[in-house]
Structure 1
Amino acid sequence: MLSRPLSVLRILRADVIQRSFWGWLNAVFNKVDYDRIKAVGPDRAASEWLLRCGASVRYKGFDKWQKDYNHLPTGPMDNFKIEAIDATESCIMFKGFDYLDHLEHVEEIKFQKCIYIQDECLERLSRIENLQKSLQWLEIISCGNVTDCGIRSLCHLKNLRHLFLSDLPGIEEKESTLQVLQKVLPTCELKVDLE
């Protein structure tokens, strides 16, 4: 019979192994395949990445969200340009953000309960030229690794019209961070629930 402390240690060890496995698998899902981007185009390759990681996309001119990797639309690639991304509870991480570089029509992005979204991701996102021009709506909700630094980096998204921030425990300087955003993004509607 195992003593209680020993059985607890085995459970904890199994938990660590399981988390390590899922972290490794998620990193594999986020590995960028540059040959695939060239072969099928940036929107198709980004769609494959996002859906593989558990996110959803909506294409320009369509109302329906694409959620199933196995039912990605076929046909001329020019017919399916990503307009919106819902990354709720997805495993997207910084490693895969190169897939976003050549997307020209993305107007909306939602990060909710994304455990791998951190400051580095938001900084990378805000420096993508095409997104600086097209992105108008951004939501960041319950992403525990985002701090004031990541939120302040959004200043580069000059065409942002709506920014919703909620349940971000890493935000420590709420007032000064919001002042920075309001100063550099005067036409952006800020909705904040950081209590």
Structure 2
Amino acid sequence: MIITRCLRPSFLAKPRLPPLSGCRQFWGWLNAVFNRVDYERIKDVGPDRAASEWLLRCGAKVRYEGFDKWQYDYNGLPTGPLGKYKIQAIDATESCIMSRGFDHLDGLEHLEELKLCQCIYIEDTCLERISKTDNLQKSLRRLEIISCGNVTDKGVISLHSLRNLEFLLLRDLPGIQKKEMILELLQKSIPPLQIELDLKD
């Protein structure tokens, strides 16, 4: 008896998926595009509207001064007179914001609360950028940094410039090694600051 095997023609073969690294590179490139700063757009619509568009494009939420509702739908951003809606709070949980987009924060004069949770692109340079932004040094009152694995001692130490910060939450940040030193430095730089640490050893 002769047994023959039917071979699947090559054009019907199951396509191979690209390697994971290539997929990561694609998403990294796309997220970098989302974070591109359009300075002409900032001039045309104002810093708060331009920053809102950036944040929602990257998957974050914003809340405006005088409002309780969070805005998360890019197409549902409110319209009205230029400069009417001022960003008071940002929730960047699981968003793709990265340092190259942080120039959007320069013109925000009413931002009091910022939450960075599970943001894979948040790193020390982002925290340093926040700390050096004049408007945020004056306005920022509450900052939460949770499960951002690229944050280290260096980035957290830079927060000592946020002289009006009232509350700082640091949780699940394996890159932080010098907890006691950081606590001492921040408390000395910003005496009224309440710090809550929940760091894994």
**What range is the shorter-chain TM-score in?**
over 0.9
Mapped partners of 1:63, 1:75: distance in 2: 18
More helix by proportion, 1 or 2? 1
Instruction: With the length of structure 1 as denominator, give the TM-score of the two structures.
Output: 0.93
Question: Residue 93 of structure 1 corresponds to which residue in structure 2?
Answer: 98
Task: State the 1:172 CA deviation.
Answer: 1.1
Matched residue, 1:7? none
Q: Look up the equivalent residue of 1:48 and give its one-letter code.
A: E
Alignment of 1:24-43 (within 5 A): 24-43=29-48
Note if 1:110 corresponds to 2:115: yes
Instruction: Give the aligned CA root-mean-square deviation in angstroms.
Output: 1.2
Partner of 1:179: 184
Shift of residue 151, structure 1, vs aligned partner: 0.2
Percent identity of equivalent pairs: 66
Question: Structure 2: any 5+ residue segments left out of the alignment?
Answer: 1-6, 8-15
Aligned equivalents of 2:78, 2:26: Cα separation in 1: 31
Q: Please report how far the alpha carbon of residue 78 of structure 1 lies from its aligned counterpart in structure 2 after TM superposition.
A: 2.4
- Deviation, structure 1 residue 179: 1.2
State yes or no: 1:188 paired with 2:193: yes
Shift of 1:79: 1.8
Out of 146, 149, 158, the residue aligned to residue 153 of structure 1 is 158
- Establish whether residue 58 from structure 1 lines up as the match of residue 86 from structure 2: no
> Which ranges of structure 1 fall in alignment gaps of 5 or more residues?
2-9
Q: How many residues align?
A: 186
The equivalent residue for 2:143 is: 138
Amino acid at match of 1:69: Y
Aligned AA (1:63): D
Of structures 1 and 2, the larger Rg is shown by: 2
Q: CA deviation at 1:17?
A: 1.2
Q: Which residue of 1 aligns with 2:4?
A: none
- For 2:196 and 2:114, the matched residues in 1 are separated by 15
Cα deviations across residues 149-186 of structure 1 (Å, max 9, x unaligned)? Answer: 00000000000000000000000111111111111111
